[in-house]
A and B are shown apart, each in its own frame.
Chain A
Amino acid sequence: MSTTTVTPAPKTSGDEIPWNKHQRQHLTPGDWVASIIIYGLITLAVIAVLYPLWFVVIASFSNPNKVAAGDVFLLPKGVTFVGYAKVFANARIWRGYLNTIIYSVVGTAVNLAVTIPCAFALSRKEFKPRRVILFLFTVTMFIAGGLIPNYLLYKQLGLLNSMWVFILPGAVSVYNVIVARSFFETSIPEELFEAAQLDGESYLGYFFRIVIPLSSAILAVIGLYYFVGHWNDFMTGLIFITDDEKQPLQVVLQQLLLVAQGTATNVDAAAQQQAADQIKFGIIIVSTLPLMVIYPFLQKYFNKGVMLGAVKG
C-alpha cells in the first residue's frame, strides 16, 4: 500500500484520512522514513498473527501425526477430513450452535439495553450520586462472592439449568459501563447538551434523540465486546447447566474433544485417539468462524469519524 504514498496520487479513496490531502506538498524525508517503519512494523505484525492461524487451518486437515512430528509447515500434508466429519456428523453441534446464537443475541441485546443508558446517566457531571455509584460498581469488579454463593443465589432465583443464567447474571459488565461512560464524557460535546436544553429536551429526549444516534461507534464496540463474551462463554454452561439440550456450542465442542481424547478410566479406540488433534483444530475453526464473519460488518462503525468534526468544524 505504500505505493500510493510514493506516486503522487490524485485525490483518491483516501480522502477521509485528513492529512492525505496534503501529502503532495508536505511529504518530508522524515515522513518517508516514518512510512517505511510504519508499514514494516505492520507487515511484521500481520505475519506474526497470520502464520499461526494459517497453521491451525492447515493442521485441521492434515494427518495429525505429521502435525505432531513437525512436518507440516506451509501446506497441509496427508489431507484428511476426519476431524471435520466427526465434528459435523454430530447433531449436538448444531443444537449447540443454535443455543449459542440465541444466548449471544438475546444476551447482547439485554447487555446494551442495560449498559448504555446507565453509562450515559453516569456521564452527566451534574448527577452527583454518580461517584458513589461508580465506586459501588467498581468494587464488584474486584470483590466477588465466589462460586458457592453464586450457585445458591441462582438456585433460589430459578436460574439453574435455564437459558437466563447465561444472560442475567452478566447483564452488566462494569468494565463496559466505564468504557462507555468515558466515551460519552469525552466524545459527545457539551454544547449539544446545552443546545438540547434550550430546545426544552429532557434527559430522556436528549439521550434517545441526540446521544444514541451519535454513538454508533461505542455501541458497536461494546456490543462486540459483549457478543464475544457470550459466544466464548464456556464456564457458565459447565457449572450451571445440567441439561445437555441447553448447552452452548463451546461446551458441546469441549465434550466432543474430551470424548475424542479418552480418559484414564475410559479407554478409547485408536482411530478416535488419532482424530483427537484434528478435531481440536477443526473445533477452533468451527467455533470462531462466525465471530470472524461478524466483525467486518461492525468495523465500518469504528472508522467513522464519529461526530466531533461536525460540531466543532
Chain B
Amino acid sequence: MAIAAIATASMLIPLAACGGSGKATTDANGKPIVTIQVRRNVTDNPMKKTQFSKDLEAACDCTINWQEISDNAWGQQKSAKMAAGDFPDIGLALYDSTDVTKYSSQFEDMSKDLSKLPNVQKFFKAQPDAKKFAEDNGHLYLLPSDRGKGYRVSATHMFINKTWLDKLGLPVPTTWGELKTTLEAFKTKDPNGNGKADEVPMNIRGLGFGLWSPLTLMNSTGLTTSFMGASASSQGYYVKNGKVASYLTSNELKDTISYLHSLMAEGLIPKDALTRDASKYNSQTISDGKTAISGVTFGWSNYSEFGDKLADQYITLPPLKQKASDPDSKVKWDYSQPAAEYAYVLSLSPKTANKDAALKLINAMYSEKLSVSGFYGSIPDIVTDNGNHKYTIDKAKAYAEYPDTRAVALQDRFAGWIPDDATIVNDTNAEQVTASDQAVRETIKKNVDPVKDVIPIWVHPSSEDMDTLSNNNTAIFNYTDNQLAKWVQKGGIDSEWSDYLKKVKEPTLGLDTNIKIWQKYYDKQA
C-alpha cells in the first residue's frame, strides 16, 4: 500500500507543481476578457449588473469578468492564492505594500505603462502626495485610490456628550484634569435623567496602537500618533525630531496609562472594558436610540459612533492638554489623513493576457465620472451628473438598504480619484466625518508636521526586514499588551516601570533592532 500511495503521489506532484492554464482570454465575440477581482461584501449588489460596469466595458472594448470575494473569505484565501500564483488580471483592494514586497514579480510595475494611463498621470500631478504614497523606489505596483477632500480627515476623534455638559452646566474640558472632573460629574449626577446610574462616563473599545484607541490621548503629551492602517505608529513606533523611538519605552505612554488607570479605578471606565466583546460596547454607545449612556468615546464620526438618533448629542472634543500649564504647541492629534484619504487599491498582473485592454480599463476607472460611479454609484441610476463637476447622490436609492455603505457601488474598494473640484451632494459619511473633524483641524495644522512628527505611511521596509519587524513585534506585544492592560486595570505602573523597561529592552525581544530598521528606512525614504 505504501508503494501505491507513493506511486500515486509521485504522479500527482509534477501536476500539482505547474499552474493551471488554458482559460479563455476572449469572449464569444472575440472581445478580450479582463478579470477583476474585488474584495467587498458579497451581499452588495453584484457589480456585473451595474451601469458602471457597462461603462467600463465600453471604454476598454472588452468584457469584464467580475469576481467578488468577501472580506472574510479573502482573509483566509489570500495567502494560499498568492503562494499558488493565483493573481487576477486586475485586483481591487486585495493587496497591500507588504504583499508587493514579498511577491514583487507578480505585480506589474505600472510606472512603465503610465503613458497609457493619462488619467492616472493627471491624478498624480494634482495630488503629488498620492504619488509619493504609491511609489516604491520609483516603481508603481499598486495604484492608490483617492476618496477626495471629504475624507482628508483624522480617522480618530474623541467625542463628548454636549447635551450632558449643558444639562450639568459644565464647560467643554480642555485638560486631562478637567476631563476627569467632568467624567466624575457624568457618573454621579445622572446626566441622562433616567434616574438610573447607568451612565458610562468614558467608554473604550480596548487598548492598543490602532484605530479609535484611548491611547490617542498620548497626543496630549507631545507625541503624535497615526493610528490607521499598517503605519509604523500602529506597530508602536514614532518619530520626534527625526529620531525613531518606541511608544512602549516612553514616559509619555507611562503618563497616559497612569491617567487611564486613575479613570478606571474610579469606575469612570467600565471595569470589563478590556475583556468584553464588541456588542456590549455598541449597546452602550448606540444604546436604544433614546437615552444616551456613554459620555466620552473614541471613534470615526458621531453618527457612526452613536447612530442617527443620538449623534446630535455629541461633539468632537478638541485635543486636550495634559496639564493646564503646557504650551499650546505641545498638543498634537492623531495624524491619519493620508491613510483615511488614500488606499492601496489596484494591482495589475504581469501575466495578463490582454494587457492593453486592462490598461484602457484602468485609465477609464480614473476618469472623474467613473471614479464617482465607482465610489458612490452608477450614473445616472444612483448618482445624477449635474454638470460642472457637481454630482448628486439619490439618497433613496443609494442608502435604502445600507445607509452609510453605498452597497450599490464599489465604495471604499473603488479604484479612482475624486478630484478636489468635484462637488458631491448627499455624501453623508463624508459630511459627518468632516463635521466631526473640524475640532481637531487647527491643532493638526499648527502643531503636527506630517513628516517630522510622523513616520509617513509610504516608508516601506524590505521583505526581509518586514519579517524581522513582525516577529519581534509579536514577541514584544505578547509581553507589553498584557503589562499595559494590567496597569490600566489594576495599577502599579510606578513601581513596576523600571523592571518593565529592562525587560522590554532585552536584546532577545528585538526592540532596538526594530527601531534601527525603521530609522534606516525613515532616513532613506521620508
Contact = CB atoms under 8 A, between A and B. Distances in A.
Report if A and B touch in the complex (beta carbons < 8 A): yes
B84 A151 contact: yes
A155 B308 contact: no
Contacts of A147: 79-80
A270 B309 contact: yes
A184 B380 CA distance: 69
Given A92-B43, A148-B84, A267 B405 contact: yes
Interface residues of B, number: 54
Nearest to A270: B307
Given A147-B79, A266-B41, A269-B403, A258 B71 contact: yes
Contacts of A153: 12, 16
B83 interface: yes
A156 to B, nearest CB: 5
Interface stretch (A2-10, A234-242, A297-305): A234-242
A261 B304 CA distance: 12
A242 to B, nearest CB: 6
Contacts of A241: 73
B297 interface: no
Contacts of A46: none
A240 to B, nearest CB: 8
A274 interface: yes
A268 B404 contact: yes
A63 B291 CA distance: 15
A268 B278 CA distance: 14
Interface string A242-284: 1010000001001110110101111111111110110010000
Tell me what chain B mostly uses at the interface: helix, strand, loop, or mixed. helix
B77 A266 contact: no
Contact of B72 (A148, A238, A265): A238
A242 B2 contact: no
Given A65-B288, A147-B79, A270 B308 contact: yes
A68 interface: yes
B16 A152 contact: yes
Interface in A11-70: 63-65, 68-69
Contacts of B171: none
Contacts of B307: 269-271, 273-274
Contacts of B68: 244
A265 B343 CA distance: 11
A49 B397 CA distance: 47
A79 B17 CA distance: 57
A132 interface: yes
Nearest to B407: A259
A210 B314 CA distance: 76
Nearest to B300: A267
Interface in A155-200: 155-156
Contacts of B211: 264
B73 A65 contact: no
A64 B83 CA distance: 42
A268 B15 CA distance: 46
Contacts of B301: 267
A257 to B, nearest CB: 9
Given A69-B283, A255-B41, A266-B411, A235 B76 contact: yes
Residue in B16, B69, B278, B283 with the greatest tally of chain A CB atoms within 10 Å: B283
A263 to B, nearest CB: 7
B126 interface: no
B80 A239 contact: yes
B513 interface: no
B377 to A, nearest CB: 15
B399 to A, nearest CB: 8
B439 to A, nearest CB: 19
A309 interface: no
A268 B5 contact: no
Contact of B2 (A64, A136, A256, A276): A136
B1 interface: yes
Q: Which among A148, A155, A237, A265 has the highest number of chain B CB atoms within 10 Å?
A: A265
B412 interface: yes
A148 B80 contact: yes
Nearest to B93: A265
Contacts of A266: 41, 405, 411-412
B288 A63 contact: yes
B84 A152 contact: yes
B282 interface: yes
A65 B291 CA distance: 12
A129 interface: yes
Given A259-B41, A267-B304, A272-B402, A65 B1 contact: no
Interface in A122-161: 129, 132-133, 136, 147-149, 151-153, 155-156
A268 B405 CA distance: 6
A237 to B, nearest CB: 8
Q: Chain A CB within 10 Å — which of B20, B80, B284 has the most?
A: B80
A277 B80 contact: no
B79 A148 contact: yes
A136 B4 CA distance: 12
20 contacts: A64-B279, A64-B283, A69-B198, A69-B283, A132-B2, A136-B1, A147-B80, A151-B80, A239-B76, A242-B77, A254-B72, A255-B70, A258-B72, A263-B71, A267-B304, A267-B405, A269-B402, A269-B404, A274-B283, A277-B283
Given A268-B402, A270-B308, A274-B283, 17 more contacts: A65-B288, A68-B283, A90-B43, A151-B84, A152-B17, A155-B20, A156-B15, A156-B16, A238-B72, A239-B80, A241-B73, A244-B42, A267-B301, A268-B404, A270-B303, A270-B309, A277-B279
Interface of A: 63-65, 68-69, 90, 92, 129, 132-133, 136, 147-149, 151-153, 155-156, 235, 237-242, 244, 251, 254-256, 258-259, 261, 263-274, 276-277, 280
List 8 tightest A-B contacts by C-beta distance, closest first: A270-B307, A68-B283, A267-B304, A269-B403, A151-B80, A65-B283, A148-B83, A156-B16
